[in-house]
Amino acid sequence: MIKRVAIIGLGTMGPGMAARLARGGIEVVAYDIAPAAIERARPMLEAADGVLDALGITASADSGGTVRLTDDIEEAVRGADLVIENVPEKEEIKAEVYRKIEGLIGPDTIVASDTSGIPITRLQAHISNPARMIGMHWSNPPHIIPMIEVIGGEQTAPETVDTIRDFIRSLGLLPVLLKKDVPGFVENRVLYALLREVVDLVERGVIEPEDIDTCVSWGIGYKLAVVGPMALLDMAGMDIYHSVSSFLNADLADRKDVAPLVNAQMAAGKLGIKSGEGIYSYTPETIAKLQPDRARKLVAIRRILEGGE
């Protein structure tokens, strides 16, 4: 049974993951090498707790759920049943983490990576007990979105997969089990296919960014929140899909490189919210409002989807 979890790397996901695990009665110790990241995590934990309250996800006083922050990796993983690696998306950085914790964890400790898409089989090459390694890909924001992808690598033991899937369910969350370890897993493969097409449409002058956002949010996204894509095929009818895809598929974006629009933004230092300008411009005031406003809307949608009011 998993009762103690170490999170390695706080970043944007770590605090939300820690808060949600604690609500499930888990003792969480979250580590980051950077003191500034630890300080940033404190208000993020408070904000996540407020959102969880709004969702009605509460824990009893004797549940044992706690969160502790540390800059000592040995302290973080000591006695952990599960270690969730949540460091930047570079294989060499992740490999260094695995080397650091190798002699600090027990033989039965499960090591999970929250990588957004590096195949787990590749990461297993950097750990001495690959049978106990698995992908556990949370979706951002992790304290609000209940779906978690579970990905076994070529050497992951079936019992490791079962343990993580059952653990996710025990928290009241939704495990999605991948049958194959593919780059990007499933969520990001579908998302990046959509992003490739919308960037292409904007780049070709077909539509403005504001209008594509309206189209996706109020058209595709509105429907897909209720009717999944495979169920949508049934709703529309295979005959309709066959007819439209027979001519449309040939015209969809299928580029294998990064779109010039994205490269130009990068070259200009327009990285998005983090730099104050990307596709849109952001003031410090609008940035401060964005996260709580989006969290409020996501909470409202989730409550509806779960049958609440």
> Architecture of 187-305 per CATH?
Orthogonal Bundle (1.10)
Instruction: Assess contact for 128 and 99: CB atoms under 8 A.
Output: no
- 147-152 and 133-138 beta bridge pairing: antiparallel
CATH of 4-178, one of 3.40.640.10, 3.40.50.720, 2.170.8.10, 3.40.50.300: 3.40.50.720
Amino acid at site 176: V
Write the burial class of residue 22 (CB in 10 Å: 0-12 exposed, 13-18 middle, 19+ buried): buried
Closest CA to 100 of 204, 8, 29, 36: 8
pTM for this one?
0.94
Distance separating the N- and C-terminal Cα atoms of the chain: 34
- Give me 98's structure tokens: 């695995």
Instruction: Assess contact for 112 and 77: CB atoms under 8 A.
Output: no
What is the per-residue pLDDT for 307? 84
What is the per-residue pLDDT for 58? 87
**Distance of alpha carbon 77 from alpha carbon 56, whole angstroms:** 30
Q: Which residues pair with 177 in a beta bridge?
A: 150
Residue ranges covered by each domain of the chain: 4-178, 187-305
Would you write out the chain's pLDDT as a tens digit for each of its 309 residues? Answer: 899 999 999 999 999 999 999 999 999 999 999 999 999 999 999 999 999 999 999 886 677 899 999 999 999 999 999 999 999 999 999 999 999 999 999 999 999 999 999 999 999 999 999 999 999 999 999 999 999 999 999 999 999 999 999 999 999 999 999 999 999 999 999 999 999 999 999 999 999 999 999 999 999 999 999 999 999 999 999 999 999 999 999 999 999 999 999 999 999 999 999 999 999 999 999 999 998 999 999 999 999 998 855
Residue 134 has phi, psi (to 5 degrees) of -150, 160
**Distance of alpha carbon 33 from alpha carbon 98, whole angstroms:** 14
**Distance of alpha carbon 165 from alpha carbon 178, whole angstroms:** 11
| Token pair 């090459």 in the structure block, residue | 125
Three-state SS string over the chain comes to: CCCEEEEECCCCCHHHHHHHHHHCCCEEEEECCCHHHHHHHHHHHHHHHHHHHHHCCCCCCCCCCEEEEECCHHHHHCCCCEEEECCCCCHHHHHHHHHHHCCCCCCCCEEEECCCCCCHHHHHCCCCCHHHEEEEEECCCCCCCCEEEEEECCCCCHHHHHHHHHHHHHCCCEEEEECCCCCCCCHHHHHHHHHHHHHHHHHCCCCCHHHHHHHHHHHHHHHHCCCCHHHHHHHHCHHHHHHHHHHHHHHCCCCCCCCHHHHHHHHCCCCEHHHCECCCECCHHHHHHHHHHHHHHHHHHHHHHCCCC
What is the per-residue pLDDT for 110? 98
**Distance of alpha carbon 33 from alpha carbon 53, whole angstroms:** 30
